[in-house]
Amino acid sequence: MRRQAVIDMGSNSFRLVVYGHEKGSWWALIDEIREPVRVSEGMGRESELKPEPMDRAVRTAAVFAAFCEASGIEEVDAVATSAIREASNRAELLEAISEQTGLEVRVISGEEEARYGWLAMANSTTVDDGYGVEIGGGSAQLVRIRGRQLTDACSLPLGSVRLSEAFLPDEKAPGKARKAVRRHVASQLGAVEWWPTKGGRLVGIGGTIRNLAAAASKQLDSPDMDVQGFVLSREALEELIEALADKPASKRGSIPGIKPDRGDVVLGGTIALATMMDEGGFKAIEVSEAGLREGIFFECLLEDAEPPLFGDVRRESVINLAHRYRTDDVHVGHVAKLSLELFDGLGEAGLHKQGNVERELLWAACELHDIGVAIDYDDHHHHSAYLILNSGLPGYSSREQVLIALVARYHRKGDPDASSLGDLAERGDKGRVRLLSGIIRLAEQLERSRDQSVASVDVSAQNGALILRPKVKSGDAGVPIWAARRSADLLAEAVGRKVEIDA
Amino acid sequence: MRRQAVIDMGSNSFRLVVYGHEKGSWWALIDEIREPVRVSEGMGRESELKPEPMDRAVRTAAVFAAFCEASGIEEVDAVATSAIREASNRAELLEAISEQTGLEVRVISGEEEARYGWLAMANSTTVDDGYGVEIGGGSAQLVRIRGRQLTDACSLPLGSVRLSEAFLPDEKAPGKARKAVRRHVASQLGAVEWWPTKGGRLVGIGGTIRNLAAAASKQLDSPDMDVQGFVLSREALEELIEALADKPASKRGSIPGIKPDRGDVVLGGTIALATMMDEGGFKAIEVSEAGLREGIFFECLLEDAEPPLFGDVRRESVINLAHRYRTDDVHVGHVAKLSLELFDGLGEAGLHKQGNVERELLWAACELHDIGVAIDYDDHHHHSAYLILNSGLPGYSSREQVLIALVARYHRKGDPDASSLGDLAERGDKGRVRLLSGIIRLAEQLERSRDQSVASVDVSAQNGALILRPKVKSGDAGVPIWAARRSADLLAEAVGRKVEIDA
């Protein structure tokens, strides 16, 4: 495993993140330290870093450097953004850090920051044509994406700490002050001629947006999971603004989902986001957990690609998760093959009306159905679902991730229960989970001896029954066929037909 | 990783289990197939295996053999117990299996079976002097243990399938029939002169007892977890007998915790267990998830020890779990060292009254606090707790496992909440969790840079304050000391003193 550290010195917090990766197999964030340094505190109009925040910054840099050294991590990329970038006395801070910690900090421009944000968005969502916004502590970055490429980018001084300090310095946030934030943001946006008026797809990244998504998600009846893929509607955002403004600044961090040390500076960025959505005509924003740090990491991970983008984000997410937990590629791949043959055959026989999206969810569940074995063989179907929900699958919506987790959960046993979808459920999801679970359960048994002896399966409907004809590659497939016959009940019930395995 | 398969051909079910292990590091059950073959069905007094059950047995053996071959597992130990052992026509079955699957089945004697059961008990519980019972489908094994050694053993024809078929063949289980089971069991027990009358420690293994523990555990308000270490009281067992007897045999499998395919034969073994406890004067039985199969595996894993026993079961469980999830031994070991120094120092200063048991729980939580990183860095404290509860820690009671999980859960953040202990809670557990969490949280920060720069810590109480003096090994410990100062609140609150870090 190769390890690479990214140190992100933002206006609100400093973070050290460590990524582990094995080329062509998997990558993951494996370690992280976050410090609410708030280096921009009290910078004011003269843009001068104050002694106390500078001292906190140097100490934190020392923690990070000591950590990397003790852990033997040699690849360390330290970057500084808005607050340090704009500070008149930044040289003083950078020198102190270099002297006391050995870290050479790279101060990136607003355009570079926006580009890394785009890399994070394009590699963690399915956005093809659309827009992106990243709200940081000091600045906010806006991007336009066409055919997954970055076509326009800008960085504006609209970070959450900056706006909150300038416009909402008191415990209360009166309507007048909030309107002033909106006016200020709208006026800055006016200069961004490519920002739309008629909406489109919008992706959001950065700590403020992640916190808002977490807060909105906690209002829903839905499983505990990452906010990766969460869709935050403009209405839900408005409710959050009301809830935040109703509380004094020092209490805003008590709203579930909002980090306590971010509470007093979250409102400025929240109003900025709402204004950007209103001006752009966006009704909702898709949230990604990736950000600047992942952008920097992806540039290294995907160094052989130009630009450094995954070919297929959804596919990559699934394979990455499967490899992280070292599943048996050949076995799960064969379960996927048989499952998709069943899915297609059932569709052709008119026994379901599901489309390509469900087909892909089934594929993903097949690839991931055994990852829970990494936790414990006992109840591994439960553990697989736990891992899927807690690791996140970039490119899939929250609902899709829950559906994949449910199908993995029911691949062995149990009567499929889709109620945990809660507010995420769409019409037909109950039947969807039953059908896909019925398919994977049968396919898993057809590959029970894990030797691919059932090479493929033919599907037809005759006289009201569903006939499955396994094609045996070699040797004796008596075992999987016998096992499959005893695991066909769920599928039979899902398609309303008797299932006969003709072999 | 070395892999080893054990095939267990019991009277009720056949199982293939695969263990993975790296010598001196970890072992785990990594795969399993269970088939409710019920080979003993209809054997009757003439002890003859019937054609249909034999056919099921051969087919299942074929599944297992194909599985091992496809998975490339070369070490396969197939053993048969009671039903096959006693069958007049067992040679016919063994030949068919050998011919059709290549498996050479080892038929073990009742004494060998009891010995493997003892190995499972002595390697998964802390029993030093005591008794053990294993209830199988055909036979039941009783053992006496002195100084962890096996001193007496016997196998009696008191398996759950056998008793249920002989005495409780109908849907109803009238009081008269149940009494007949008791009389029969008591009379057989009468011949076991070393079976006690005044109780002592009693350990239980085997599917029937595991199911009973699961059923009793589901009656409690307690976290979802393995039954490893669960204590089943004689009263709870009586309630289960009533609940089972109240239902027709075909519905007994619907009681949560009882496997559906075991429902119709569970009552015989349940009454047998109750009778064994009554005759022996036992008030409760400690349940282990280990059994015959683990006994066989331990004999191989511990081949260098004679007898093949772990030196310290509790310690071994913790280290095994830590190694399974590849934690950083040096870091977690140092957090444990600092935590125990704090624990001891606080005790000497009269700031807590906890003893060696709590000290060991703290040690275990330290060793395991980071295992959740294997799932995901985000929220890894939650994941560590999940892994502890779901993997089981042999040698620790259910309550102790929850306490360890809670301390690992709170090692980074959050206000310790011990309410998930539910019915398992004992007096003082709330304060115990706060104290131990406060200690580990501070120790983790003292080792924040993961370089052991704070080599140890001295504890004293002065003028109502708690004074901690870190001893710095080398280099600059400014970082961990600064971090520790900001993470002392929980400990301060737990001991009711201001904490000063004097460095």
Q: What is the CATH number of the domain that holds B132?
A: 3.30.420.150
* Closest by Cα among A53, A103, A102 to A78: A103
CA distance A66 to chain B (A): 6
Contact between chains at A63 and B374 (C-beta distance less than 8 A): no
- Which residues partner with A17 through β-bridges? A6, A32
Same-domain pairing of A94 and A121: no
- Which residues partner with A140 through β-bridges? A135, A156
Contact between chains at A66 and B374 (C-beta distance less than 8 A): no
- Chain B contact present for A373, CB below 8 A: yes
Same-domain pairing of B172 and B24: no
Same-domain pairing of A320 and A443: yes
Cβ contacts of B421 within 8 Å, gap of 6 or more: B222, B223, B399, B402, B403, B406, B429
The per-residue pLDDT for A349 is: 94
The per-residue pLDDT for A326 is: 81
Same-domain pairing of A85 and A125: no
Cβ contacts of A16 within 8 Å, gap of 6 or more: A5, A6, A7, A8, A31, A32, A33, A63, A64, A67, A68
Average pLDDT over residues B199-216: 97
Distance CA A164, CA A266 (A): 7
Distance CA A129, CA A142 (A): 14
- Which residues partner with B162 through β-bridges? none
Q: And the tokens for A128?
A: 């093809």
**Residue A80 domain flag:** yes
- Which residues partner with A327 through β-bridges? none
Kind and range of the H or E run holding B455: strand B454-462
pLDDT digit string, tens, across residues A218-252:
999 999 888 999 999 999 999 999 999 999 999 99
pLDDT digit string, tens, across residues A16-34:
999 999 888 899 998 888 8
B371 → chain A, closest CA residue: A375
Same-domain pairing of B123 and B248: yes
More confident residue, B118 or B474: B118
Distances (CA, A) of A135 to A160, B36, B64: 7, 58, 56
Average pLDDT over residues A46-58: 94
Same-domain pairing of B272 and B367: no
**3-state secondary structure at position A286:** strand
**Residue B301 domain flag:** no
Average pLDDT over residues B252-276: 95
Who among B30, B63, B479 is closest to A373 (CB)? Answer: B30
Same-domain pairing of B274 and B151: yes
CA distance B311 to chain A (A): 24
- pLDDT, chain B, mean: 94
Same-domain pairing of B87 and B121: no
Identify all chain A residues contacting B63, using CB atoms and an 8 Å cutoff: 448-449, 479, 482-483
Who among A28, A383, A479 is closest to B66 (CB)? Answer: A479
CA distance B341 to chain A (A): 23
Distances (CA, A) of B405 to A156, B398, B408, B420, B459: 46, 11, 5, 11, 26
End-of-domain residue from the set A53, A79, A107? A107
pLDDT grade, residue A475 (50/70/90)?
low
Q: And the tokens for A325?
A: 């937990």
- Which residues partner with B106 through β-bridges? B79
Contact between chains at A30 and B377 (C-beta distance less than 8 A): yes
Distance CA B342, CA B356 (A): 14
End-of-domain residue from the set B293, B322, B346? B293
Average pLDDT over residues A286-291: 96
**Residue B308 domain flag:** no
The per-residue pLDDT for A35 is: 87
**Can you give the residue range of the structural domain that contains B14?**
2-107
Give the mutation candidate from A21, A60, A375 for the B interface (greatest B CB count, under 10 A).
A375
pLDDT grade, residue B347 (50/70/90)?
very high
- Chain A contact present for B305, CB below 8 A: no
pLDDT digit string, tens, across residues A294-309:
999 999 999 999 999 9
Who among A31, A67, A479 is closest to B63 (CB)? Answer: A479
DSSP assignment of B79-125? EE-HHHHH-TTHHHHHHHHHHHH---PEEPPHHHHHHHHHHHHHTTS
Distance CA B439, CA B362 (A): 9
pLDDT digit string, tens, across residues A182-201:
999 999 999 999 999 999 99
Identify all chain A residues contacting B448, using CB atoms and an 8 Å cutoff: 33, 63, 67
Contact between chains at B449 and A67 (C-beta distance less than 8 A): yes
The per-residue pLDDT for B218 is: 94
Q: How far is CA B226 from the centre of its chain?
A: 7
Average pLDDT over residues A164-177: 95
Give the mutation candidate from A63, A447, A476, A486 for the B interface (greatest B CB count, under 10 A).
A63
Q: How many H helices and E strands in chain B?
A: 18, 14
End-of-domain residue from the set A293, A326, A342? A293
**Residue B298 domain flag:** no
The per-residue pLDDT for A392 is: 87
Q: What is the CATH number of the domain that holds B380?
A: 1.10.3210.10
Average pLDDT over residues B410-418: 94
Cβ contacts of A326 within 8 Å, gap of 6 or more: A374
Identify all chain B residues contacting A387, using CB atoms and an 8 Å cutoff: 375
Contact between chains at A449 and B67 (C-beta distance less than 8 A): yes
Same-domain pairing of A232 and A155: yes
pLDDT grade, residue B378 (50/70/90)?
confident
The per-residue pLDDT for B72 is: 86
**3-state secondary structure at position A482:** helix
pLDDT above 70 as % of chain A: 99
**Residue A306 domain flag:** no
Contact between chains at A69 and B451 (C-beta distance less than 8 A): yes
- Chain A contact present for B31, CB below 8 A: yes
pLDDT grade, residue A45 (50/70/90)?
confident
**Residue A303 domain flag:** no
- Contact call for residues A147 and A326 (beta carbons, < 8 A): no
The per-residue pLDDT for B281 is: 98
pLDDT at residue A479 is higher than 80 = no
Same-domain pairing of A202 and A81: no
Number of domains in chain B: 3
pLDDT at residue A130 is higher than 80 = yes
Between A and B, how many CB-CB pairs are < 8 A? 95
pLDDT digit string, tens, across residues B290-337:
999 999 999 999 999 999 999 999 999 999 999 998 888 999 999 999
The per-residue pLDDT for B190 is: 96
Q: What is the CATH number of the domain that holds B93?
A: 3.30.420.40
**Residue B347 domain flag:** yes
pLDDT at residue A478 is higher than 80 = no
pLDDT at residue A66 is higher than 90 = no
pLDDT at residue A476 is higher than 80 = no
**Residue B302 domain flag:** no
- Contact call for residues A285 and A273 (beta carbons, < 8 A): yes
Same-domain pairing of A491 and A478: yes
Contact between chains at A62 and B383 (C-beta distance less than 8 A): no
Distance CA B126, CA B397 (A): 10
More confident residue, A501 or A34: A501
pLDDT at residue B277 is higher than 70 = yes
- Chain B contact present for A32, CB below 8 A: yes
Q: Which region among A38-47, A235-244, B8-17 has the lowest average model confidence (pLDDT)?
A: A38-47
Same-domain pairing of B348 and B497: yes
